[in-house]
Structure 1
Amino acid sequence: MSESKPETRNEFEKQKQELIAALKACGAVRYGDFTLASGKKSKYYIDIKKASTDPKTLKLIAKQAALRIKEMDVGTVAGVELGGVPLATAVSLETELPLLLVRKSEKAYGTKSRFVGELQPGDALVLLEDVTTSGGSVKDAIEVVREAGGNVKYVITVVDREESAKENLRAVDAELIPLVTASDLL
């Protein structure tokens, strides 16, 4: 992503602070003993599904992601089931870019497609993710999209837990753009 202008950086920071407050207010940040999708144990859990079912918080997420997408050369917003679906849908509505949903596995009936929406060879997409830890599930989605001819250069995550997702995605030539990091939240 190109270096943003000072006024845009100020807007990013203002929106980030609003999003942090909204995530805490809707109960998306929880403390205790949790096992993450990556299998790792954690003393905190970020439940973006709580945020994505709260209209005000979802709208903040969509606006913040849309501001970043304005600086990208992409034509489609994509989300991975389940967590990325409401996020990508809200961002698609905010940006008026087409929506592509990526299933975790091939559908066993009908078209048997991994996608809902149109994906043409050469299409440039931004993937939306709820929380990234190692980036494993989003890496799988990037691979599936690329195998179908799509181009994924950017992944916007609502919260990056800062546990190697950025580096793991860089290794597959994709840039992780967190709206908020775990250290911002905690």
Structure 2
Amino acid sequence: MRLIDTAVQPVGNDLATRLASVPGLVRPGVSHWDMKTRLPLHPLSVENAYGDPRLLHDLAVPAVAFARQLDADVIVGAETGGIPLATAVALAGDLPFAFVRKPGYIGHEDHEPRVRGAAVAGRRVLLVDDAISQGTALEAFADQLRAENADLVGAFALVDMRDVADSLTPIATTLPIESVATYLQILAKAVDLGVLDQGTHNLAVDALLNHWPDDDPRWSLLDPQTAAA
């Protein structure tokens, strides 16, 4: 027996607005990814959305609908950001739950399984993560699942960042993927909510889409102190 009726839950733009309004999720300021790639905004703190149980439940609703569409047998959370959301999806959809370790994980025992929780071998699984970008992490998790003989039928993320990725792995273009919103949609919602001013938004989007070099003088317009450092 299913626990929710997805037809009456908030989805689409309203849910994207609620996500963008989470305190601290969108933060102005120049930052760096892995201490290398310069970013015109701080990375999204998507995990902040997990603090509100009602919102976490509602964010799971479109993933439940997607899982049903794909006839998924098991919901699998990607370590670590996808685990809380995947748990909510499994509970909302009354589906088995598992999580997949990051490649390279070293456990306390030899030959620890890559996937913990429900059995995935020979079953159709929906992978859940907080965000998907180029697809590098997605590809790695897919390899882990294949090694456990799972049938990966799709992926769900809160934020689909492929709209600002400079390249995509093959799996990011072929695997069925759904999300609450794209990254650019979240930024647009943040402007509507007053979290980002329009000027910062315009500069940040330009930097993301046109891949500003580090010596571009416009960095100083986004964060003078960071740009001058």
Matched, 1:16 2:12: yes
- Alpha-carbon distance, 1:144 to partner: 0.6
CA drift at 1:38: 9.9
Aligned residues: 177
Unaligned runs of 5+ in 1: 1-7
- Structure with greater strand share of residues: 1
TM-score (norm 2): 0.68
Distance 2:178 2:166 in 1: 10
Equivalent in the alignment of 1:117: 117
TM-score by length of 1: 0.82
Stretch moving more, 101-110 or 71-80: 101-110
Partner of 1:101: 99
- The change in CA–CA distance for 1:171 and 1:128 in structure 2 (over 3 A counts) is closer
Question: Equivalents in 2 of 1:171, 1:120: separation in Å?
Answer: 21
In the alignment, the residues of structure 1 paired with residue 39 and residue 8 of structure 2 have an alpha-carbon distance, to the nearest angstrom, of 32
Query: 1:40-59 alignment to 2 at 5 Å?
Result: 40-44=37-41, 45-59=43-57
Query: Computing the radius of gyration over CA atoms, which structure comes out larger, 1 or 2?
Result: 2
Alignment of 1:32-181 (within 5 A): 32-36=29-33, 40-44=37-41, 45-104=43-102, 105-110=104-109, 112-161=112-161, 162-164=163-165, 167-170=168-171, 173-181=174-182
Q: Which amino acid aligns with 2:53?
A: P
Q: Which runs of 4+ in 1 moved over 4 A?
A: 164-167
Q: Please state how far the C-alpha of 1:182 moved relative to its aligned partner.
A: 1.3
Q: 1:30 aligns with which of 16, 27, 32?
A: 27
SS in 2 for 1:71: helix
Task: Report sequence identity in percent.
Answer: 23
Aligned to 2:199: none
Q: Which amino acid aligns with 2:76?
A: A
Once the two structures are TM-superposed, the CA of residue 171 in structure 1 deviates from its matched residue by 6.1
Larger relative contact order (C-alpha < 8 A, sep ≥ 6)? 2
Distance 1:166 1:74 in 2: 28
